[in-house]
């Protein structure tokens, strides 16, 4: 397949320097395609490979329009804005008209990312991009270096996680549209924050999905749990691949997005000689060479396959990093969480130690839950290529009641889990509100307009949790109250234990940033020792100038840990989650010079030695 135009968007309606519009739409089986705007009906001219095109001065930025494909009125599949929602007309937008002021911005090294995942609709009372912008100073004070925004592509109504989007190029109208998104990114950069955007390339949502009326965007060769599979390797796939590659380039180039997190890439099926993900990385590399800017690609993948994050030269797809759900699963089981569903494959403390050492818990062992040998080795892969967390939107929101850790674990255990993430050699990620122990849930919500679809979603949600009646009924995804209940309570971080937890997270993040041994993402300079009976882990990490000792006690009683000797040099305390100032039972000694250390229950102690 020929290389895409790196410099300009070419699909849909776009404006050149003379404000003339170039119109281009793919409809390979059509016999006539027109563009309708106001009273004008503009006939497009058929091009090679099923495209229809036109240069015109009859449409201006701000005008709404439809395509008519053999007489059927349809919104633009490459629409940039759907002002009346997924079933309404598209609006022409000049992406180049925004006045960027982030020319001095430089994307940080990936190893310096401290990520904060948020959902635009529930992060603030306003539920839009402006609401996020107003909280940027708070995030900077917390110590965050990159925000990760859940998908913003146009979805039905104004309440949705974002994974039901049906216009990948159109920024959700109720959030503020494309200009609102550009303004948010610009503001983030001017305050020193990177922006990661979550995108979905494995399926499109069910309502407002008109793609099949234009061309073979989908294939029956494969299936996904959420809808028809995108056609990346069947007849007509070249133009589908072009569509999604252009989408990637648009977010990075025209919205100045620093990194893309791609949802569930294991559900992207492609047996082409060059996998679509590899082709995406190659185009992003071209863009970087042309622009001089750095962009990262992060995968969510359930395959424990290092191919996704290995460089192309080593037969990989070249992604920069991936989410590691298995670290989360092992951590939660170690913390005393339930062992049902996919958690049955994790035995807790030993698997958490495994995750610290290997990233993947399963890297070639037999999985009882999957009933097969699973995973690949991660030798030689730097820790910055793994994103870890104690909570995220999936792991909270896919629970029946959407309970956060604050409702499931003790205050002490929440502190320990936060510490367990921050001391790892991986990239840490927080889920919005966890830093103050938010008590509101994060539940699954939608705002479809199709009554049959609404009922199907309700029934599906109830069926999914049919065995959990003792815990109550699954909240109605369509109800406004389900969405409202999922909003952050911004009064909490100023109160009692919530304020204490917020200050605790700030201190941990500062430690992560300032201590040389924690800043490094080298997995080789680390030792991990686990005691399953005592439910403890001893982790040491080191650089040429410093060694840190991390003592984690997941049990409910004091544990005596043997840390061994190290040139008879005493250890100086850096951090103690059990100190009374963190609402703990007792402070541990400021200096230790013995081989035995008593660690309070559900706590983490961190000591250091600096080399002369």
Query: Does 199 appear as a known binding residue?
Result: no
Instruction: Tell me the average pLDDT across 92-114.
Output: 97
What's the order of all strands across the beta sheet hosting 12-15?
12-15, 21-26, 51-56, 45-46
The per-residue b/e assignment along 107-129, b for 16 or more CB within 10 angstroms, e otherwise, is bbebbbbbbbbbbbbbbbeebbb
Query: Does 102 appear as a known binding residue?
Result: no
Instruction: Tell me the average pLDDT across 501-511.
Output: 98
**3-state DSSP helix/strand/coil percent for the chain, to nearest 5?**
30, 25, 45
Q: Is the pLDDT of residue 1 over 50?
A: no
CA distance linking residue 368 with residue 361, whole number of Å: 13
Point out the catalytic residue in the list 76, 234, 239, 263: 263
CA atoms within 13 A on the CB side of 382: 13
Which pLDDT does position 71 carry in this prediction? 95
CA distance linking residue 201 with residue 317, whole number of Å: 15
Q: What is the pLDDT of residues 557-606, one digit of tens each?
A: 999 999 987 657 899 999 999 999 999 999 999 999 989 999 999 999 99
Instruction: Tell me the average pLDDT across 32-43.
Output: 96
**DSSP result, 402-435:** ---HHHHS-HHHHHHHHHHHHTSSSEEEEETTGG
Point out the catalytic residue in the list 300, 320, 438, 576: 300
Query: Does 265 appear as a known binding residue?
Result: yes
CA distance linking residue 421 with residue 417, whole number of Å: 6
Beta-carbon count within 10 A of 220 CB = 9
Which pLDDT does position 470 carry in this prediction? 56
CA distance linking residue 516 with residue 292, whole number of Å: 29
Which contiguous run of DSSP H or E holds residue 452? Answer: helix 451-464
Active site residue 70: no
Q: What is the pLDDT of residues 343-391, one digit of tens each?
A: 999 998 999 999 999 999 999 999 999 999 999 999 999 999 999 999 9
Beta-carbon count within 10 A of 522 CB = 15
Domains 12-96 and 511-610 share a fold: yes
Active site residue 300: yes
Pairing label, strands 591-592, 571-576: antiparallel
Query: Does 312 appear as a known binding residue?
Result: no
**What are phi and psi for residue 65, nearest 5 degrees?**
-155, 160
Q: Mention the CATH class of domain 12-96.
A: mainly beta
Which pLDDT does position 403 carry in this prediction? 96
User: Domains of the chain: which residue ranges?
Assistant: 12-96, 511-610
The per-residue b/e assignment along 256-272, b for 16 or more CB within 10 angstroms, e otherwise, is bbbbbbbbbbebbbbee
Q: What is the pLDDT of residues 272-319, one digit of tens each?
A: 999 999 999 999 999 999 999 999 999 999 999 999 999 999 999 999
Query: Does 394 appear as a known binding residue?
Result: yes
Q: What CATH architecture does domain 511-610 belong to? A: Sandwich (2.60)
């Amino acid at each position: 397949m020929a290389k895409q135009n790196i410099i300009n968007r070419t699909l849909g309606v776009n404006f050149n320097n003379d404000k003339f519009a170039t119109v281009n739409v793919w409809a390979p089986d059509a016999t006539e395609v027109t563009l309708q705007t106001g009273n004008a009906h503009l006939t497009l001219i058929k091009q090679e490979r099923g495209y229809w095109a036109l240069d015109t001065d009859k449409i201006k930025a701000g005008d709404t329009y439809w395509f008519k494909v053999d007489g059927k009125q349809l919104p633009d599949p490459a629409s940039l804005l759907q002002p009346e929602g997924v079933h309404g007309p598209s609006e022409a937008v000049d992406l180049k008209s925004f006045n960027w002021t982030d020319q001095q911005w430089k994307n940080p090294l990936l190893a310096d990312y401290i990520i904060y995942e948020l959902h635009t609709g529930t992060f603030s009372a306003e539920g839009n991009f402006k609401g996020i912008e107003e909280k940027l100073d708070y995030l900077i004070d917390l110590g965050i270096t990159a925000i990760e925004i859940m998908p913003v592509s146009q979805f039905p109504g104004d309440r949705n996680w974002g994974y039901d989007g049906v216009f990948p190029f159109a920024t959700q109208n109720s959030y503020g549209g494309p200009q609102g998104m550009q303004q948010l990114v610009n503001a983030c950069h001017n305050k020193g924050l990177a922006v990661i955007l979550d995108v979905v390339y494995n399926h499109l949502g069910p309502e407002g999905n008109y793609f099949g009326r234009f061309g073979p965007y989908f294939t029956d060769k494969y299936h996904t749990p959420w809808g028809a599979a995108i056609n990346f390797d069947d007849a007509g796939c070249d133009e589908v691949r072009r569509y999604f590659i252009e989408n990637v380039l648009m977010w990075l180039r025209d919205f100045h997005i620093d990194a893309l997190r791609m949802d569930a890439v294991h559900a992207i099926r492609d047996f082409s000689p060059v996998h679509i993900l590899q082709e995406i990385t190659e185009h992003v590399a071209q863009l970087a060479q042309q622009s001089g800017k750095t962009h990262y690609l992060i995968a969510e993948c359930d395959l424990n396959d290092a191919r996704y994050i290995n460089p192309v030269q080593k037969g990989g797809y070249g992604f920069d990093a991936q989410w590691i759900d298995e670290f989360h699963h092992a951590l939660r089981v170690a913390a005393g969480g339930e062992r049902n569903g996919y958690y049955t494959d994790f035995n807790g403390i030993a698997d958490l130690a495994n995750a610290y050492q290997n990233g993947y818990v399963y890297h070639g062992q037999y999985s009882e839950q999957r009933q097969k040998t699973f995973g690949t080795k991660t030798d030689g892969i730097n820790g910055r290529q793994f994103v870890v967390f104690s909570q995220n939107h999936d792991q909270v929101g896919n629970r029946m009641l959407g309970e956060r850790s604050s409702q499931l674990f003790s205050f002490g255990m929440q502190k320990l889990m936060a510490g367990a993430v921050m001391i790892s050699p991986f990239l840490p990620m927080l889920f919005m509100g966890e830093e103050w122990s938010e008590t509101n849930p994060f539940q699954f919500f939608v705002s479809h307009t199709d009554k049959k679809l609404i009922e199907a979603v309700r029934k599906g949600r109830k069926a999914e949790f049919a065995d959990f009646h003792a815990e109550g009924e699954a909240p109605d995804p369509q109800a406004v109250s389900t969405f409202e209940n999922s909003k952050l309570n911004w009064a909490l971080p100023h109160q009692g234990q919530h304020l204490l937890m917020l200050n605790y997270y700030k201190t941990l993040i500062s430690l992560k940033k300032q201590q040389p041994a924690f800043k490094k993402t080298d997995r080789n300079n680390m030792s991990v020792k686990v005691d399953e009976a005592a439910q403890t882990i001893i982790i040491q990490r080191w650089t040429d100038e410093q060694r840190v000792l991390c003592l984690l006690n997941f049990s409910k009683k004091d544990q005596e840990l043997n840390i061994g000797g190290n040139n008879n040099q005493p250890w100086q305390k850096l951090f103690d989650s059990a100190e009374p100032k963190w609402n703990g039972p007792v402070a541990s000694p400021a200096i230790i010079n013995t081989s035995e250390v008593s660690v309070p229950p559900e706590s983490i102690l961190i000591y250091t030695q600096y080399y002369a």
